[in-house]
Amino acid sequence: MALIVQKYGGSSMDGPERIKNVAGRVVNTKRAGHQVVAVVSAPGDMTDRLIEMAYQITPNPSPRELDMLMATGEQISIALLAMAIQELGEPAISLTGPQVGILTDSVHTKASILKIDCSRLLQELEQGKIVIVAGFQGMDAFREITTLGRGGSDTTAVAIAAALKADLCEIYTDVEGVYTTDPRIVPEARKLEAISYDEMLELACLGSKVLHPRAVELAKIYNVPLVVRSSFTEAPGTMVKEVSQMEKKMVVTGVAGDKNVAQIVVHHVPDRPGIAKAIFKALAAENINVDMIIQSAMRDGINDIAFTVARPDLKQAVAVTERVAREIGATGVTFRDDVAKVSIVGAGMISHPGVAAEMFACLAEEGINIHMISTSEIKVSCIIDEELLEKAIKALHRRFNLDKI
Amino acid sequence: MALIVQKYGGSSMDGPERIKNVAGRVVNTKRAGHQVVAVVSAPGDMTDRLIEMAYQITPNPSPRELDMLMATGEQISIALLAMAIQELGEPAISLTGPQVGILTDSVHTKASILKIDCSRLLQELEQGKIVIVAGFQGMDAFREITTLGRGGSDTTAVAIAAALKADLCEIYTDVEGVYTTDPRIVPEARKLEAISYDEMLELACLGSKVLHPRAVELAKIYNVPLVVRSSFTEAPGTMVKEVSQMEKKMVVTGVAGDKNVAQIVVHHVPDRPGIAKAIFKALAAENINVDMIIQSAMRDGINDIAFTVARPDLKQAVAVTERVAREIGATGVTFRDDVAKVSIVGAGMISHPGVAAEMFACLAEEGINIHMISTSEIKVSCIIDEELLEKAIKALHRRFNLDKI
């Protein structure tokens, strides 16, 4: 008997037929002799619709009240799934985040989990029940309802799996696993049988939507074995686990593209200490996440500083940057939102030099100009023109033989 | 400065414009120098839609999971109303039933309030906040979410007003107050300035939908001054208060009609002790509420027993009654669902004999046959043919001069 945590996303919970389908999967797992905790998201696009309702009331909803509002979506899901499981003849009970005892900090709409009290969960499991837990939500020390922000349900599932020392955490979604790249762009894209936490983390950060980076990070820290698979098919999915357990024959594991990128350049920045700090501290103060940063040494102690932000943050980021640019005596700020990021990821890169050069050569041969480059131990990312993104992904997927096993 | 509890029903919370309208009313009350607790229902027909979702999953949803599901409706309302009030510049905070500390028993979907812990409410009020409370819900001693059943939000409002010793409890609805009868049937119906708890209780039980009898009963016990008024107009509404404070010039205060009535007759029941008990205990065991009961002494120790139930219970009630009828040796059971109940209500009846006779005379003059009669100290109810109900209401309203001040 294993203890399995399953997570079902919003598309798996969209309507009675899909909820019954999820109930069937959960019940099958139980009847195969396992204990099951199912973590679920709000049905379909409900969270978006709730947020829309809030914005029909006010352009500035209070984060606390947004959490109060948004938490209802998952609560609807857990109640309906519990009913569907009971209808199949298995005992089940639904629990909200606060009822489980998912203790978070008080940062409404993007709370972090501090602790999970497993006593209620264990008590219900010991009574032979399937436990259905609302993803995405918890409570702070004052019993206020909090939500975990984007990727919250994945994070709830992994955190519960870690707290319960579960044997497996299955993330059910609407794709069959993790692919070498987006199959909608490259039909030859292959589903990976396994991928390391670090590779998954890079892919998740680079715009692959199957699994949220927060959840991957948590799984890595607590060494929770993850499987990403489809709730609509019986395909085995992709295992996410420690790299040491894996074959490392592939240098590059995947190619990712991300259009949610905008570039800002601060021109003619004086080359003295504290300039970068001035810009990026001001952006951080406004909660704007900066991704890639490049400072190019120019002539006569004058630099350009370029960086990227997510597109929804562009307007605010430009306003902040222009203010700081004036203060530090830069000559101007330009920006563009018609760029994209293409990345290659692979744990094998560490021991294979020249992978980055191979990527640049491939893009050059395709006539694709590179605006910015950023690297980590297991990935290389390039900012290119948005209109060339698909071409770049296809070329890189071919170049690194990702279509071949 | 007064402490005022306001209750807004589902029709007042149906959509952003109506929610903003409610927010304006709440804020005006605060700015007039009062402390305000607003108790709200789920928006529009949301509770019905949630229940429908449950029945798409299973014909037998567990009451616990139904409560988990239904409680989300009010939670959406409180979050949106808090946002709308904050948008108007007043501090506000929403609280679910469990967060307030509304402790109930564990009878899911029809829980009773056992206790309200006012500490959180008082703390927020002392900080100058408008407190928005989810009606209809609470939690039991195990922190399980419960709902209070029909009339739950009215009950929450009155219970909170009682617990806080509020100066006034205002029930906002989509009508301007309590009328002498249904204005859709009798255009001359007048809005009552005031009505006693007992009269309101009779009217509420007799099918007047403005206020739930549970809430009136609670208000009477704790002597909570109630006002029923419209959330769409500035009309002053109807005061519900102790009869001792009132003018008692009117003998009859109102005429009520109720079509949710079905009649069952058990024929030729042997006249021996325990027969009535056998029938009505069996019905009670199935949770079927019996309203009027008449036992008519016939010839030779043989009786007929007639009683009424709500129409949705008719089928089940007939099945139970037929079973018992066979056991006790009655000759048969007949039933009809084309009857209705017409009632006159008035605290003044106690000191004015002959009111019932006046009612029967009025119905007779209109050619309306009476099938059953039931009386209390302050009301007389008659079962008549359903098709004659409007005619009866109009005639009685005229007969007791309810169209004149």
- Mark whether A278 and A149 lie in a shared domain: no
Predicted local distance difference test score (pLDDT) of residue B251: 80
Q: Which domain holds residue A99?
A: 3-174
- Chain B nearest CA to A72, separation (Å): 5
Residue pointed to by tokens 């599932």: A157
**B365 pLDDT exceeds 50?**
yes
Q: What is the pLDDT of residues B171-201, one digit of tens each?
A: 998 888 898 988 888 999 889 899 999 888 8
Tokens of A384: 């290119």
Cβ proximity of B40 and B7 under 8 Å = yes
**Distance (Å, whole) CA B370 – CA B344:** 14
**Residue B56 belongs to domain with CATH number:** 3.40.1160.10
Q: ipTM score here?
A: 0.81
Subunit contact A94:B56, Cβ cutoff 8 A: no
- Residue A390, classed as helix, strand or coil, is helix
- Which residue from A minimizes the CA distance to B18? A57
Residues A391-398 have a mean pLDDT of 95
Three-class DSSP labels, A191-207: ECCEEEHHHHHHHHHCC
Q: Is B370 within a domain?
A: no
Mutation pick from B65, B72, B77 vs chain A, by most beta carbons of A within 10 Å, is B65
Tokens of A369: 């100009």
Query: Across chain A, what does the average pLDDT equal?
Result: 91
Q: What is the pLDDT of residues A218-227, one digit of tens each?
A: 999 999 999 9
**Distance (Å, whole) CA A152 – CA A345:** 24
**A206 pLDDT exceeds 70?**
no
Subunit contact B82:A71, Cβ cutoff 8 A: no
- CA triple B141-B147-B153, angle to 5 deg: 120
Subunit contact A58:B99, Cβ cutoff 8 A: no
Predicted local distance difference test score (pLDDT) of residue A139: 96
Subunit contact B68:A60, Cβ cutoff 8 A: no
Reported residue count of chain A is 405
**Distance (Å, whole) CA B156 – CA B147:** 10
pLDDT band at A245 (very low <50, low <70, confident <90, very high): very low
- Mark whether A160 and A13 lie in a shared domain: yes
**A211 pLDDT exceeds 80?**
yes
pLDDT band at B159 (very low <50, low <70, confident <90, very high): very high
Q: Quote the number of domains for chain B.
A: 1
- Which residue among B57, B61, B94 sits closest to A16, beta carbon to beta carbon? B57
Predicted local distance difference test score (pLDDT) of residue A299: 61
What's the one-letter identity of residue B199? E
Q: What is the pLDDT of residues B248-270, one digit of tens each?
A: 567 888 999 999 999 999 988 88
Q: Is A149 within a domain?
A: yes
Subunit contact B57:A87, Cβ cutoff 8 A: yes
Three-class DSSP labels, chain B: CCEEEEEECHHHHCCHHHHHHHHHHHHHHHHCCCEEEEEECCCCCHHHHHHHHHHHHCCCCCHHHHHHHHHHHHHHHHHHHHHHHHHCCCCEEEECHHHHCEEECCCCCCCCEEEECCHHHHHHHHCCCEEEEECCEEECCCCCEEECCCCHHHHHHHHHHHHCCCCEEEEEECCCCCECCCCCCCCCCCECCEEEHHHHHHHHHCCCCCCCHHHHHHHHHHCCCEEEEECCCCCCCEEEECHHHCCCCCCCCEEEEECCCEEEEEEEEECCCCHHHHHHHHHHHCCCCEEEEEEEECCCCEEEEEEEECHHHHHHHHHHHHHHHHHHCCCEEEEECCEEEEEEECHHHHHCCCHHHHHHHHHHHCCCCCCEEEEECCEEEEEEEHHHHHHHHHHHHHHCCCCCC
Q: What is the pLDDT of residues B13-33, one digit of tens each?
A: 999 999 999 999 999 999 999
Subunit contact A69:B79, Cβ cutoff 8 A: yes
- Chain B nearest CA to A68, separation (Å): 6
Q: Using alpha carbons only, how large is chain A's radius of gyration in Å?
A: 23
Q: Is B165 within a domain?
A: yes
- Which residue among A57, A60, A65 sits closest to B20, beta carbon to beta carbon? A57
The contact set of A with B (CB < 8 A) is 16, 19-20, 50, 53-54, 56-58, 60-62, 64-66, 68-69, 71-72, 75-76, 78-80, 82-84, 86-87, 93-94, 96, 99, 143-145
Q: Is A348 within a domain?
A: no
**Distance (Å, whole) CA B112 – CA B147:** 9
Q: Is B363 within a domain?
A: no
**B207 pLDDT exceeds 80?**
no
- Chain A nearest CA to B212, separation (Å): 27
- Mark whether A28 and A149 lie in a shared domain: yes
Q: What is the pLDDT of residues A63-103, one digit of tens each?
A: 999 999 999 999 999 999 999 999 999 999 999 999 999 99
B76 CB neighbours in chain A (<8 A) are 50, 53, 69, 72
Cα B75 to the center of its chain, rounded Å:
22
Subunit contact A75:B80, Cβ cutoff 8 A: no
- Mark whether A158 and A281 lie in a shared domain: no
Among residues A126, A156, A174, which one ends one of the domains? A174
Q: What is the pLDDT of residues A315-334, one digit of tens each?
A: 999 999 999 999 988 889 99
Percentage of residues of chain A with pLDDT beyond 90:
66
Residues A284-302 have a mean pLDDT of 79
Q: Is B385 within a domain?
A: no
Among residues A287, A310, A336, which one ends one of the domains? A336
If phi > 0 it is left, if psi is from -120 to 50 it is alpha, else beta; for residue A247 that is beta
Tokens of A351: 């021991």
B143 CB neighbours in chain A (<8 A) are 99
**B1 pLDDT exceeds 70?**
yes
Subunit contact B82:A72, Cβ cutoff 8 A: no
Q: Is B66 within a domain?
A: yes
B79 CB neighbours in chain A (<8 A) are 54, 65-66, 68-69
Tokens of A309: 């932000």
**Residue A318 belongs to domain with CATH number:** 3.30.2130.10
- Interface size A-B, in CB pairs within 8 Å, comes to 99
**A246 pLDDT exceeds 60?**
no
Q: Is A33 within a domain?
A: yes
Among residues A275, A301, A336, which one ends one of the domains? A336
Q: How are beta strands A168-173 and B102-104 bridged, if at all?
A: unpaired
Q: What is the pLDDT of residues B49-67, one digit of tens each?
A: 999 999 999 999 999 999 9
- Which residue among B57, B60, B84 sits closest to A58, beta carbon to beta carbon? B84
Mutation pick from B67, B76, B140 vs chain A, by most beta carbons of A within 10 Å, is B76
- Which residue among B57, B76, B86 sits closest to A83, beta carbon to beta carbon? B57
- Mark whether A159 and A269 lie in a shared domain: no
Q: What is the pLDDT of residues A31-62, one digit of tens each?
A: 999 999 999 999 999 999 999 999 999 999 99
- Counting Cβ atoms within 10 Å, is residue A267 exposed (0-12), middle (13-18) or buried (19+)? middle
**B162 pLDDT exceeds 70?**
yes
Mutation pick from A13, A14, A62 vs chain B, by most beta carbons of B within 10 Å, is A62
- Which residue among A20, A61, A62 sits closest to B57, beta carbon to beta carbon? A20
Q: What is the pLDDT of residues A131-186, one digit of tens each?
A: 999 999 999 999 999 999 878 999 999 999 999 999 999 999 888 889 898 888 89
- Which residue among A20, A57, A75 sits closest to B16, beta carbon to beta carbon? A57
Reported residue count of chain B is 405
Predicted local distance difference test score (pLDDT) of residue A365: 93
Predicted local distance difference test score (pLDDT) of residue A398: 93
pLDDT band at B396 (very low <50, low <70, confident <90, very high): very high
**B212 pLDDT exceeds 90?**
no
Predicted local distance difference test score (pLDDT) of residue A297: 65
